[in-house]
Structure 1
Amino acid sequence: MAARAADARAAGERAARGAAGGGRARDRDGRRRRRGAPSRATRGDGAVRRARPAIALDGANIAWCYSAALHAAFGSRNKQPLSRGVVAALEHEAWARIDADVVAFVPSTYVEGPLHGLADGGSLGVVVPRHVRYLGRGTWRNERLFAEVRRGRVRLVERAGERSADDLTIIDYGRAREARIVSNDRYGDHKMGHGELKKYLKNHLFDYEFVFGTDAKRIREEVGDVASVEVGSAFLPPPPVDEGSETWDQSVHAEGSSRPWARYAKDALWGKQARVKKRRSMGKVVRVQHASSDDLGFPFWAVDDAHIPVEFNPSCKF
């Protein structure tokens, strides 16, 4: 009797420790699971199935970093978010191999809104026609990203004047799902005073890079001269006849911006800006810009994907 009572007390103490958080998590089959490991479910046939690893892609950061990578690798000067970066990240070969649940969070205005602020948009001079469609009344749509929205691989984030809205959405999603976040943004503004968030991001935030399988010379040889690249409104279908202009007009079809903080010419160009001369007139310094903002060089951002092979390399390994 005394032995049985002692065994019962010991079992009760072990149960109490487990309830208080001192025990190890167990799967439905009763086996121990290390802390932080994905839970496992049982299929109808009795086989154990692990939860799919969750991956959250920072779509805005990736779209911009792809544009920056084109500049670093080939000297591309057009400074706009580009949809190809997001698609390349979604199609990273490792995701299929580990059966990951991958979603990219993208500002809604990158997919639909004014041309200035749209992915692959910017202006009528640099727009990539094969990826966009004019919806009327100054509204445009990026068809490549819209297709990913319909597939469920892209989730739209409404910024509503708050540029950090997509950061917060990604972080909230990541913490709720124990997801790996892929971004070159370190989210420093959101870490301040949040020790728990710092710890989470330390273990779940991973950077990435784009690696190109060609060089600028080869691209130019394959593509030919600038005139053979479909870039700008000249390659768009005619505008709607009921909007007062028979040809594409910036003031009619591309007025306004979802990025009003970046509407100056310098904000649309990667690299060093034009040299500025100073001359004195009546005791004042007058700045004169000598280079046109339209001088963007070879339009690498609009070259067909087949001519610019690229690999998306996140630092998280599986």
Structure 2
Amino acid sequence: MNSSIIGKSAEAAVNFLFQHFRGGFDAFSAALGAVVKLLEDGLGAVPFIVMLVVLVAFALWRRGVAFSIFVGIALLAIHYMGLWAQTTSTLALVIAATFFSLVIGVPLGIWGARNKRVEMVLRSLLDLMQTMPAFVYLIPAVILFGLGRVPAVIATIVFAMPPVVRLTTLGIRQVREELLEAGRAFGSTDSQLLRKIQLPNALPSIMAGVNQTIMMALSMVVVASMIGAGGLGEYVLGGIQRLDIGIGFEGGLGVVLLAIVLDRLTESFGVKSKKARPGARTSKAGARAAART
């Protein structure tokens, strides 16, 4: 099966990058690999009982007694199945991918909200990133970065970043115009309006983007395991390869429990933020603060 001129052009572009910038990709791969390894070693060094107490206490603070009990049962179930090491490995990958997605995605979302032409370009690019099959990202990632966690993180970032970009843009654009006018009336600059009015009022939408980014990163776990990402995805993949229903179910259940815990905890920040912002009174206070700084 031969590719068309479009496919050949994409292949030529990847080969050009590999041939002319291989040193840069190797250096970036080493740096990113070190970050992921540091995260994985740090999470792995924490005793299970300590992580259990911390997460249950955190869940109690954010969501209440019922959810904290669920978190305790979920973590104990993961530990009982012997999947705690794989869970910390997966969590390290998700944290790294989510962090870099936010570092790149939030500024892009802000830029898109303030520039319609940029927003049009970003929308087309994000549509491509979200609709392209996830397996396709693995091919150039492996060519440029080799096998292992680094290409898995890169592919996960590409797949998981669109929600935070879109929802950051949406949140900033939904800030009421009268609030911005109040800020300008107090003498705020554009950067002060962004920091003191737009971002605080857009925080629930941004946190929803963070939540969706984490969920999409978790959905890449099994796909990323095909190129050596390890963790729960590798456990599930092993069950698929051996047609072992028990192993596959346990690995899948571990992913589901981890996803529910992360989803509810991150979701709580958006809900709390929304409740904490009654409207004009908070925003006018922000406008005054922006004018003073």
TM-score range, shorter chain: under 0.3
- Which structure dedicates a bigger proportion of its chain to helix? 2
Structure with the higher fraction of residues in strand conformation: 1
* Alignment TM-score, normalising by the size of structure 2: 0.25
